[in-house]
């Protein structure tokens, strides 16, 4: 009996320290920074289940105090990033800590609300995420800010929460057991899939004519009988315009040699809109086409290479402009001139490029797997450029003031030397 007890204790200790062993193996890391890492939960309780752990040796939430608030902010930033990297909706996730952590090493759970998983096997699994035993990040952050520590729940309260009825987290259904709950949750998931598919179908159909509808409704920045120039509704940079052809051409892959004059015309409109941006050099713009364009209808992007925008929210947003998915005007013109057309890209390759990591800066050798890290880096480039621009504007202002004052034509008295100074 004594040997069995010791054996069980050793097994329990080994299991409790499993997270520490996991993060020591680089192969398990999805995202890694100087401060923290993101790993996949070894026994996921939902379709998406990740853990964000600090590199600092912190045993649990009960060792936290106010000095750890910046660390918590970093963990939450990585939580948002992993959701973004996976192309999921932030509102579909729970982010928080267990009030009764079962494993050593502080870890933040990032888990999708579907809870569809073969590893969801017990009432304890469900209630640990769907009662007060799960502390949302915001609640823990607020409590720590106010009290400087996190209090443990009384043992009786923990047992009470673990034994609560299996109430669905999406409706008023209460399950008799775990199998019936899982069957019910699966129905929610199937309904969600159907709804998402329907919405995607409708959005794709509506997107087909959205650009031309906008061009008709809005006042175009430039308009000719062949094309219009409008601002992108969700700009991915400080300056982002779209040149839309009025001719019914599905995409850049539908262009043929007889459309080269149209391409020339669209390029001329692109040059015109760039010239209207007073303080941005033409060399700071990209002009080209997305080979996997979401919007149907030939449209050419005219976008500043700073990519400084709140709408740059996903990895695919960056990759759609900074990989082979973006064809420059020159490349398109040359290909059509010599080959007669643009070959479509295979869907599998396009999807791989959209989600490719690491993300490479378009202005230096910097690279990262974290979109927010790239955006912070790009902001530094943008800030330097803006500072330089501000200096140039000040110099131009002084030159204009000198010209207005006509200081270059001084009075004769000003040109006569002072004898006392000789």
Rounded Cα distance between 107 and 138, Å, is 15
> What pLDDT is stored for residue 102 in this prediction?
80
The domains of the chain are located at: 15-164, 218-380
Q: Can you say how many angstroms the Cα of residue 284 is from the centroid of all Cα atoms in its chain?
A: 23
Q: What is the pTM of this model?
A: 0.51
Q: What parts of the chain have a pLDDT lower than 70?
A: 1-18, 193-218, 293-295, 392-393, 405-422
C-alpha torsion 122→128→131→136, nearest 10: -150
> What pLDDT is stored for residue 214 in this prediction?
53
- Residues labelled catalytic: 107
DSSP 104: S
> What pLDDT is stored for residue 413 in this prediction?
52
> What pLDDT is stored for residue 106 in this prediction?
94
The three-point CA angle 53-58-60 to 5° equals 85
C-alpha torsion 26→28→33→36, nearest 10: -120
Q: Which strand (E) or helix (H) includes residue 285?
A: strand 285-290
CA-closest candidate to residue 287, choices 307, 271, 275: 271
Q: Which CATH number fits domain 218-380: 3.30.1490.20, 3.40.50.150, 3.40.50.720, 3.30.428.10?
A: 3.30.428.10
Residue length of the chain: 422
DSSP 13: H
DSSP 48-59: SEEEEEESS---
Is domain 15-164 annotated with CATH 3.30.428.10?
A: yes
> What pLDDT is stored for residue 407 in this prediction?
54
What is the radius of gyration, based on Cα positions, of the chain?
30
> What pLDDT is stored for residue 208 in this prediction?
45
> What pLDDT is stored for residue 394 in this prediction?
73
Positive/negative CA dihedral, 251, 255, 259, 261: positive
Decide if 170 contacts 115 (C-beta within 8 A).
no
- The yes-or-no answer to whether 15-164 and 218-380 have a common fold is yes
Q: Which residues pair with 240 in a beta bridge?
A: 303
Helices (H) and strands (E) in the chain, counts: 13, 16
Rounded Cα distance between 167 and 162, Å, is 12
Decide if 63 contacts 152 (C-beta within 8 A).
no
Rounded Cα distance between 184 and 166, Å, is 11
Chain segment 363-385, per-residue pLDDT in tens? 999 999 988 889 888 988 888 88
Q: Which residues contact 394 (CB under 8 A, 6 or more apart)?
A: none
> What pLDDT is stored for residue 125 in this prediction?
96
C-alpha torsion 214→217→222→226, nearest 10: 70
> What pLDDT is stored for residue 87 in this prediction?
77
């Amino acid at each position: 009996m004594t040997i069995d007890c010791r054996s069980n204790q050793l097994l329990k200790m080994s299991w409790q320290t499993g997270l520490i062993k996991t993060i020591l193996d680089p192969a398990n890391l999805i995202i890694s920074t100087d401060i923290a890492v993101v790993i996949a939960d070894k026994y996921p309780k939902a379709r998406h289940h990740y853990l964000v752990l600090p590199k600092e040796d912190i045993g649990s939430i009960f060792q936290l105090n106010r000095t750890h608030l910046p660390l918590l902010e970093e963990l939450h930033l990585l939580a948002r990033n992993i959701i973004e990297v996976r192309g999921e909706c932030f509102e579909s996730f729970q982010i928080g800590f267990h009030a009764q952590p079962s494993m050593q090493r502080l870890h933040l759970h990032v888990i999708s609300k579907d809870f569809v998983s073969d590893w969801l096997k017990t009432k304890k699994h469900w209630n640990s995420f769907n009662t007060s035993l799960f502390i949302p990040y915001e609640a823990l952050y607020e409590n720590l800010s106010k009290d400087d520590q996190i209090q443990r729940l009384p043992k009786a309260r923990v047992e009470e929460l673990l034994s609560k009825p299996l109430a669905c987290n999406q409706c008023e259904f209460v399950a008799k057991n775990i199998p019936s709950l899982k069957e019910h949750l699966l129905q929610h998931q199937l309904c969600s899939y159907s709804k998402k598919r329907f919405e995607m179908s409708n959005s794709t159909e509506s997107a087909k004519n959205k650009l031309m509808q906008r061009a008709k409704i809005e006042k175009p920045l430039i308009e000719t009988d062949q094309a219009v120039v409008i601002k992108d509704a969700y700009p991915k940079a400080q300056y982002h315009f779209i040149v839309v052809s009025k001719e019914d051409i599905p995409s850049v892959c539908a262009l043929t040699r007889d459309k080269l004059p149209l391409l020339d015309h669209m390029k001329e409109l692109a040059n015109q809109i760039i010239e209207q941006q007073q303080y941005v050099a033409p060399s700071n713009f990209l002009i080209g086409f997305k080979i996997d364009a979401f919007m149907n209808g030939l449209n050419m992007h005219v976008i500043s290479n700073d990519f400084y925008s709140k709408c740059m929210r996903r990895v695919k947003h960056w990759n759609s402009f900074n990989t082979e998915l973006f064809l420059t005007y020159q490349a398109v013109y040359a290909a059509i001139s010599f080959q007669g057309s643009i070959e479509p890209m295979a869907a599998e390759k396009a999807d791989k490029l959209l989600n490719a990591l690491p993300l490479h800066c378009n202005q230096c050798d910097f690279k990262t797997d974290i979109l927010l890290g790239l955006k912070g880096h790009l902001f530094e480039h943008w800030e330097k450029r803006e500072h330089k621009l501000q200096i140039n504007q000040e110099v131009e202002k002084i030159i204009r003031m000198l010209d207005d004052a006509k200081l270059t034509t001084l009075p004769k008295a000003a040109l006569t030397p002072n004898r006392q100074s000789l």
